[in-house]
Amino acid sequence: MKNILILIIATLGIMNYAQPMEIITDDNVIGKTNEMEIQLFNEKFTQYEGDRVRGATVNSLIQSVVANNMSADDESRKVSVSGAITLDKNDTELPEKRADAGHTYKVMCTYGTTEDSKGLVTSITIEEN
């Protein structure tokens, strides 16, 4: 009986020692936070992507871009628009040209590749169908 008890204690000790420990470092937490921030930022624009986006929806996208650019802390968070409708990153007013409600458009997002904008939507192309 004494040998069985020693064997059980030894087995439990080995099982506990063999289980991998998960260590959370600041780098892991920061990396996951940045990924979530990037995803949340991009969703403001990627929700409008598509091949047959209605004109009214494109106009909503443009409003979202202007609002974003006005509140952006730094240049890496500003978005430009090109194609059928153009908007510079520093424009603080809606452009005179609007999307026609009777048309559909192709909306495509482009993502940054530099260190400060990597993974962020940096520009949007709008093409009339």
* pLDDT tens figures, 15-50: 655 555 555 555 555 455 599 999 999 999 999 999
Q: What is the pLDDT of residue 9?
A: 72
Handedness of CA 129, 83, 53, 94 (dihedral sign): negative
Structure tokens that stand for 60 in this block: 């909503």
Give the pLDDT confidence of 52-87 residue by residue, as tens digits: 999 999 999 999 999 999 999 899 999 999 999 999
Q: What is the pLDDT of residue 17?
A: 56
- Report pTM: 0.74
Mean pLDDT score of the chain = 86
Q: What is the pLDDT of residue 125?
A: 98
Q: How long a stretch of residues is the chain? A: 129
Handedness of CA 34, 36, 37, 39 (dihedral sign): positive
Q: What is the pLDDT of residue 26?
A: 52
